[in-house]
């Protein structure tokens, strides 16, 4: 390890120590402020006298919400956790602080490692530090997903206890209340919320409000079935079993399948995001190893071509990382906690000048292009508005254009810097220069730089360069052969330096890249749309479970079933919503239009069953095969989940390992082989001329 590296490590360690000391005094000062006094008052009179972790998390939360950069992440976490914790401010703050602390404990050592590793390459260092912004969100999203899965597992035990309580009380609301009071788990808070809804003055309205904030669809189903049972009463099937308990069993089976599916997907994707990121961290060590062991590769890794391949590898890694996240996130509950009116895109759009510019790009309403964009946003389950979508596209376009010009300029600077800084010497293919050889090579480079500074920007012939060399103080006593060799070397360097400027085709390439950047947000939505279509069979099977729960409840009609399907739909939301809106104008016609808009066979069968239930037969007879073939559909659901996991796993592995393959093939093997062969060819050519 070099002295410079040790200096950086010592500097960073010292900086962290000073930061900890300052943070300690700041927290000590903050202990006397009103928020902490309120916490002390809450603790007064309790048995717990020591400084617990819960109190620490509360204090850390108050500190985090005051830090400008971290405040944004704290707000995003709160929006997600508030839904799970149902108005429990204390727990929300505790979980938010805990997740933020864990994320910081991961990011800070990684930042130090990146700085130590890439401190010589400012551009790569900047890119990696920017990349960490996305990594923070991934870490936090993963921790929230764990809480969501934890809640789902609690629901399985919660519903099992409700079965026993229902046998005892024979009343839905009393059973829910009894079980909810037994512990302080997250699911108990949801149970208390559902109990409050069922016993409120207007339970139907309160239930609709709960549907908008429920953590997952299974709690929606449970709340809805509990409401219908309380309103219309419970029934028994042909075997004398309670219909309510049977529906609880159906929801539990759905949850168990979902838990297994999530656990398998977590196992498949647990290392893919890391694998996609590793190549970026390995570029600098790989480059140093190659240059130290094979000196002839220095011209590649320190030159323009090496910089270009390094940059392409970073871009590919970034794209693969985003696609892996999209592929993984598509399996979650899919709720978008961000307010579509409060995003940064809409804040920019509110500016009068920006609004006029963006409106020029947005297609006119009722046009074919506008309809395509609206359908794409719906098919991709994106909640962003059309205005935000186009602001995103324009900002991405401008950013890519500016970044492209900056990168091209940087490439020319790298090529010029290589000419000015690379030791000028002839050396072997393998191994490195000795200390004496390196000293002489550096001296020769500095000597050539004198002429480059004098002649740069001038169009000179080789003879003119010879004249400059001949009458310089460095070559007063040199022979004609030495002057000729030096003149040829300096002339070659001068030509390289003089042509390193932005050219017309680079401006054209920047425009092409900007155009690609303009379409990039649209391509991402198209990718999400494709990923969602993989879930189509899973969604239809969930529809079958919902119909199975509703079809034997008295007073349930086709319109109510459609409303339930709309509530839990994702892929088929738009056509089902349209059918619900047109239902009163003509039930059969609305269902016929729905059938014409879908092309999935199992969904068409459901619509045909609803059409039969409208005019011909009762609902339970129209879907009697669902009850009779319940076990078959469950096995089919399991097999469908297995195929879905396998398909996503294959796509994820292909995307996740692409940067790693690019690193070893494009950044190590190909340069070593190609440059090695070229060096050997030049060596053999030199030997043949000497002979």
Structure confidence at residue 423 as a pLDDT band (50, 70, 90): confident
- For 252, the token pair is 């539990």
Concatenating the DSSP letter of every residue in 431-445 gives B---HHHHHHHHHHH
Q: What is the mean pLDDT of residues 472-499?
A: 79
Phi, psi of 294, rounded to the nearest 5 degrees:
-135, 90
Q: What pLDDT is attached to residue 682?
A: 62
Q: What is the mean pLDDT of residues 16-40?
A: 57
pLDDT surpassing 50 at residue 430: no
Q: What is the mean pLDDT of residues 146-168?
A: 88
pLDDT surpassing 90 at residue 398: yes
Q: What is the mean pLDDT of residues 671-689?
A: 66
Concatenating the DSSP letter of every residue in 474-523 gives GGTT--HHHHHHHHHHHHHHHHHHHT-S--HHHHHHHHHHHHHHHHHHHH
Structure confidence at residue 2 as a pLDDT band (50, 70, 90): low
- How many angstroms separate the CA atoms of 537 and 556, rounded? 25
Q: What is the mean pLDDT of residues 185-206?
A: 87
- How many angstroms separate the CA atoms of 429 and 295, rounded? 6
Structure confidence at residue 47 as a pLDDT band (50, 70, 90): very low
Structure confidence at residue 344 as a pLDDT band (50, 70, 90): confident
- For 604, the token pair is 């068409």
Q: What is the mean pLDDT of residues 559-587?
A: 86
pLDDT in tens, 124-137: 777 777 777 777 77
pLDDT in tens, 100-129: 888 888 888 888 887 887 777 776 777 777
Residue 254 exposed, middle or buried by CB count within 10 Å (0-12, 13-18, 19+): buried
- How many angstroms separate the CA atoms of 311 and 304, rounded? 11
- How many angstroms separate the CA atoms of 234 and 229, rounded? 5
Q: At 242, is the secondary structure helix, strand, or coil?
A: strand
For all residues of the chain together, what is the average pLDDT? 79
pLDDT in tens, 260-283: 888 888 888 877 777 777 787 788
Q: At 294, is the secondary structure helix, strand, or coil?
A: strand
Phi, psi of 433, rounded to the nearest 5 degrees:
-75, 150
Report DSSP state, residue 422. Answer: S
Neighbours of 558 (CB within 10 A): 20
pLDDT surpassing 60 at residue 330: no
Structure confidence at residue 52 as a pLDDT band (50, 70, 90): low
């Amino acid at each position: 390890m070099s002295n410079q590296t040790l200096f950086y490590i010592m500097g960073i360690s010292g900086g962290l120590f000073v930061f900890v000391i300052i943070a300690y005094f700041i927290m000590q000062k903050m202990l006397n402020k009103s928020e902490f006094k309120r916490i002390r008052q809450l603790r007064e009179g309790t048995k717990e006298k020591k400084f617990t972790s819960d109190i620490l998390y509360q204090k850390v939360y108050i500190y985090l919400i005051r830090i400008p950069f971290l405040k944004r992440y704290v707000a995003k976490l709160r929006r997600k956790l508030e839904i799970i914790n149902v108005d429990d401010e204390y727990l929300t703050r505790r979980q938010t602080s805990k997740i933020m602390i864990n994320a910081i404990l991961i990011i800070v050592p990684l930042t130090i490692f990146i700085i130590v590793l890439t401190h010589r390459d400012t551009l790569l260092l900047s890119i990696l530090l920017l990349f960490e912004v996305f990594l923070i969100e991934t870490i936090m999203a993963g921790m929230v997903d764990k809480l969501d899965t934890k809640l789902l597992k609690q629901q399985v035990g919660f519903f099992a206890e409700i079965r026993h309580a229902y046998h005892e009380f024979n009343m839905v609301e009393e059973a829910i209340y009894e079980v909810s009071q037994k512990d302080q788990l997250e699911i108990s808070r949801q149970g208390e919320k559902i109990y409050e809804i069922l016993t409120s003055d207007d339970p139907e309205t309160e239930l609709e409000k709960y549907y908008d904030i429920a953590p997952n669809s299974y709690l929606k189903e449970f709340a809805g079935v509990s409401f219908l049972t309380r309103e219309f009463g419970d029934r028994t099937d042909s075997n004398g079993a309670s219909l309510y308990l049977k529906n609880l069993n159906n929801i539990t089976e759905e949850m168990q399948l979902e838990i297994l599916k999530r656990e398998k997907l977590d196992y498949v994707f647990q290392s893919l995001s890391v694998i996609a990121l590793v190549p970026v961290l390995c570029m600098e060590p790989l480059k140093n190893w190659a240059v130290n062991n094979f000196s002839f590769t220095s011209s590649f890794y320190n030159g323009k071509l090496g910089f270009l391949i390094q940059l392409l590898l970073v871009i590919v890694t970034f794209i693969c990382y985003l696609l892996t996240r999209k592929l993984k996130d598509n399996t979650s509950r899919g709720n978008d906690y961000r307010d579509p009116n409060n995003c940064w895109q809409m804040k920019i759009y509110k500016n009068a000048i920006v609004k006029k510019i963006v409106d020029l790009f947005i297609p006119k309403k009722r046009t074919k292009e506008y309809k395509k964009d609206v359908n794409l946003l719906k098919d991709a389950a994106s909640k962003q508005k059309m205005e935000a979508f186009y602001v995103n596209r324009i900002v991405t376009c401008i950013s890519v254009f500016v970044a492209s010009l900056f990168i091209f300029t940087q490439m020319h600077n790298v090529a010029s810097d290589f000419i000015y800084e690379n030791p000028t010497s002839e050396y072997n293919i393998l191994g490195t220069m000795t200390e004496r050889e390196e000293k002489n090579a550096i001296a020769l480079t500095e000597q050539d730089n004198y002429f480059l500074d004098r002649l740069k920007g001038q169009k000179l012939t080789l003879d003119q360069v010879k004249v400059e060399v001949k009458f310089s103080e460095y070559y007063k006593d040199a022979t004609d052969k030495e002057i000729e060799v030096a003149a040829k070397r300096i002339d070659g360097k001068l030509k390289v330096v003089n042509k390193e400027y932005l050219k017309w085709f680079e401006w054209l390439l920047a425009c092409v890249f900007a155009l690609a950047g303009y379409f990039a947000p649209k391509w991402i939505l198209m990718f999400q749309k494709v990923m969602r279509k993989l879930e189509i069979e899973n969604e239809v099977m969930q529809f079958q479970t919902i119909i199975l729960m509703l079809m034997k409840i008295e007073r349930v009609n086709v319109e109510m079933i459609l409303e339930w399907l709309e509530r839990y739909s994702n892929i088929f939301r738009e056509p089902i919503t349209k059918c619900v809106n047109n239902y009163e104008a003509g039930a059969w016609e609305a269902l016929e239009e729905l059938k014409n808009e879908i092309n999935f066979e199992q969904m068409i069968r459901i619509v045909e069953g609803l059409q039969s239930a409208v005019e011909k037969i009762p609902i339970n007879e129209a879907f009697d095969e669902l009850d009779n073939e319940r076990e078959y559909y469950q096995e089919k659901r399991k097999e469908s989940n297995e195929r879905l996991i396998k398909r996503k796993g294959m796509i994820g592995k292909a995307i996740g390992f692409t940067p790693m393959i690019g690193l070893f093939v494009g950044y190590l093997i190909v340069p070593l082989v190609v440059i090695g062969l070229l060096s050997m060819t030049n060596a053999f050519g030199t030997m043949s001329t000497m002979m």
